[in-house]
Structure 1
Amino acid sequence: MNRSLTLPVFGLTGVLMTAWTAQAGIVYIPEGSADSVLMVESETGQPIGRISSVEAVHGLAGAPGTPYLVAGSYSEIDQESAAQTAKPEGVSQADHNAHHAKPANAAMPTDKGLSLLSVIDTKTGEVVRRIEVPGAVHHTAVSPDGRWAMATHPSGDGVSLIDLSTLEYAGFIATGPMPNYVSFSPDSSLAYVSNTGNGTLSELDLDRRILSRNLLAGEGPEHFALSRDGTSAFVADAEAGTVLRLDIASGTETATYEFGAELHGLDLSDGEETLFVAVKGADLVAAVDLTSGAVRLQELAPAPYHLTAADGSETLFVSSREEAKVWAVDQASLQVTSEIAVDGEGHQMVILP
């Protein structure tokens, strides 16, 4: 694909993008150091817009039927910079002042760093609110019911909870050392967080805003995928090169898949019969048949990184950690069908209908 392609800023192409949304899904690709999110039509892999002014975006999340994307910055800022945060383009200063949410002093730890979550309107591409959170954000998640968003803070040993009905900070929940990835239960009452620093998967009770249980999850769990019914978690013990299948109710390990090299992203197919894994350390993408345990491997170089399976499609989207591109990969053959040029680095991708 031509790297010189000029893409419109999304805020200027809202009518066009609304038409595209009605026709097909959109892959949102956070571009890290480029401070932007690239939008790609999921069926063709064609870039169709770009959301700008999202600093150091790493974590990005959304949910079907929810009007927002939640983008987390992996960089920290000082209090003075936070106070002077530029208002989103097209928003009046009065509206910006009203929407620049400051958490209640009692709700947010004062001994952590400071970063920003950007809440993006999916119809217009505009940042409608920036919310201060305690420290750099690694990954984010949005609950299936659209009520909550969550962000992990690796240097802060906990997560931030955001109320998407009010677009306000709702509290901090301590988890474990180096919280990495986060996902919600199907009924949105619980959240799960992988703690790379102590080999656990924390279960969080959102009604009580507490850590209710820890499940053992290898040595250094990072990305994970929950089954659609919430009964199983597939957890990448990244440096060990192993994916663990955990039974959520009992906390027991029911299967282990060995890859022998460092892992990164993973996801389940639409029907949950296959687990896809980015084997970053061996330049491979893997497909695990969850019934037989058979593993298919295909070279994908260099350094396959974040991985997302498109629901209702036969395509995987896989970013490279070493080159500015995302591969579209056929799920059946594991062959690359197209390459998408990105600015910066492709991080936590989300696909919405």
Structure 2
Amino acid sequence: MRLARILLGVGLAGLWLVVGSAAEAGPRLYVSNEFANTVTVIDLEKEKTVATIPVGKRPRGIKASPDRRRVYVALGEENAIAVIDTAKNSVIEKIPAGDDPEAFDLSPDGRFIYVSNEEAHIASLIDIASRKVVATVKVGVEPEGVAVSPDGKWVYVSSETSHTISVVDAASFKVVATVLVGDRPRGIAFSPDGTRAYIAAEVGGTVSVLDAKTHKLIDTIPVLRDDEKPMGVAVMPDGKKVYVSNGRGDNVAVIDAATHKILQYIPVGKRAWGIAITPDGKRAVTANGVSENVSVIDTATDKVIGTLSAGKGAWGIAIVW
């Protein structure tokens, strides 16, 4: 047996006890549920929920550590980042993260967390070893998305009201460039080779493409068709396709990375927000906030092959592989 689990529901509090070895578990999705104050853990192979973890108030951004032993969750109304032990599927601590942390990314070596603090209009640098904010930098108004380049040299921060990307030098933690992109930029993703960055612009209905070496805008891809509101971005491991979750459009746009053309739109759940791709590139998954579920896409056919229950206000997805 791959994993033995005991799930005990406790009254209306929704507490769960999970017993088993996470090291023996299959691929899992960790879904932050903004309005339920929980993270849903889904076994992707078995297509079922294996845990519901109370994490704190208003969980949004979520990422797994490089060694997959921890999942970090931004708690906007607690000014903290919750740390989940993936072996126990429980919160083991909360790290101070500055005012209103929304999204974040990790350094490739797993030592640092880079956080957007929406209300303070700053980005914060957290040293995981000391559990402290060790630096802050002023960025645009209402910072949202955060992505670290594959080589760890650059931190891109999108700002909703300024319509900009702040390019932060990770070594000095200073802004070295500011790039105007589409209206209300949200999610950011780098290509695996680190040469391109893709930014979803919710109000602009576009995806901006930046040269990640020169930090210059090189193209703007129109995504808006009906009610598409680009939110999240994920790039295939081979770099050939870019997947964009389109919020109230209830679909995912698939972009050819070479031609910057839309290949197709894939219908998914309602208000598709967060999006992620499995490390083997076979599946893309979206967190659907209004329908409170996850859509699973076969990237070979670009069709939805499964719909899995999540929680109220499903926001982001981290994959533990």
Regarding TM over 0.5, the answer is: yes
Question: Pick from 263, 282, 295: which aligns with 2:230?
Answer: 263
Asked whether the equivalents of residues 8 and 50 of structure 1 are also in contact (C-alpha less than 8 Å), the reply is no
Question: Pick from 311, 331, 346: which aligns with 2:299?
Answer: 331
Look up the equivalent residue of 1:152 and give its one-letter code: S
For structure 2, the 5+ residue unaligned runs are 1-5, 10-14
Q: How does 1:157-176 map to 2 (within 5 A)?
A: 157-176=121-140
Q: What residue is the counterpart of 2:320 in the other structure?
A: 352
Question: Pick from 21, 26, 29: which aligns with 2:28?
Answer: 26
Look up the equivalent residue of 1:134 and give its one-letter code: G
For structure 1, the 5+ residue unaligned runs are 1-5, 77-114
Q: What residue is the counterpart of 1:216 in the other structure?
A: 180
Q: What residue is the counterpart of 1:47 in the other structure?
A: 49
Deviations 1:39-95 (A, max 9, x none): 11233432222222332211111232153222111225xxxxxxxxxxxxxxxxxxx
**1:346–1:43: structure 2 CA closer, same or farther, 3 Å change rule?**
same
Q: How does 1:193-272 map to 2 (within 5 A)?
A: 193-260=157-224, 261-272=228-239
3-state DSSP class of the match of 2:20? helix
Q: What residue is the counterpart of 1:274 in the other structure?
A: 241
- CA displacement at 1:11 relative to structure 2: 7.7
- State whether structure 2 residue 70 is matched by structure 1 residue 68: yes
Q: What residue is the counterpart of 2:20 in the other structure?
A: 15
3-state DSSP class of the match of 2:218? strand
Runs of 4+ more than 4 Å apart: 6-11
Look up the equivalent residue of 2:129 and give its one-letter code: S
Look up the equivalent residue of 1:279 and give its one-letter code: N
- Give the alignment's TM-score, normalised by structure 2: 0.88
- CA displacement at 1:7 relative to structure 2: 5.0
Separation of aligned partners in 1, 2:140 and 2:202: 17
- CA displacement at 1:303 relative to structure 2: 2.6
Q: What residue is the counterpart of 1:284 in the other structure?
A: 251
Q: How does 1:82-231 map to 2 (within 5 A)?
A: 115-231=79-195
- CA displacement at 1:265 relative to structure 2: 1.4
Q: Name the structure where helix makes up a greater proportion of residues.
A: 1
3-state DSSP class of the match of 2:108? coil
Separation of aligned partners in 2, 1:209 and 1:15: 41
- CA displacement at 1:169 relative to structure 2: 2.5
Asked whether the equivalents of residues 229 and 248 of structure 2 are also in contact (C-alpha less than 8 Å), the reply is yes
Asked whether the equivalents of residues 7 and 47 of structure 1 are also in contact (C-alpha less than 8 Å), the reply is no
Separation of aligned partners in 2, 1:67 and 1:344: 26
- CA displacement at 1:177 relative to structure 2: 0.7
3-state DSSP class of the match of 1:229? coil
Asked whether the equivalents of residues 284 and 301 of structure 1 are also in contact (C-alpha less than 8 Å), the reply is yes
Asked whether the equivalents of residues 68 and 119 of structure 1 are also in contact (C-alpha less than 8 Å), the reply is yes
Q: Name the structure where strand makes up a greater proportion of residues.
A: 2
Larger Rg: 1
Deviations 1:178-208 (A, max 9, x none): 1101111223233111111212211212332
Q: What residue is the counterpart of 1:100 in the other structure?
A: none
User: What is the number of equivalent residue pairs in this alignment?
Assistant: 307
Separation of aligned partners in 1, 2:183 and 2:175: 20
Look up the equivalent residue of 1:67 and give its one-letter code: R
Separation of aligned partners in 2, 1:38 and 1:284: 22
Separation of aligned partners in 2, 1:35 and 1:243: 30
Asked whether the equivalents of residues 161 and 169 of structure 1 are also in contact (C-alpha less than 8 Å), the reply is yes
Asked whether the equivalents of residues 190 and 204 of structure 1 are also in contact (C-alpha less than 8 Å), the reply is yes
3-state DSSP class of the match of 1:18? helix
Asked whether the equivalents of residues 62 and 141 of structure 1 are also in contact (C-alpha less than 8 Å), the reply is no
- CA displacement at 1:291 relative to structure 2: 2.3
Question: Pick from 302, 317, 341: which aligns with 2:270?
Answer: 302
Percent of paired sites with the same residue: 21
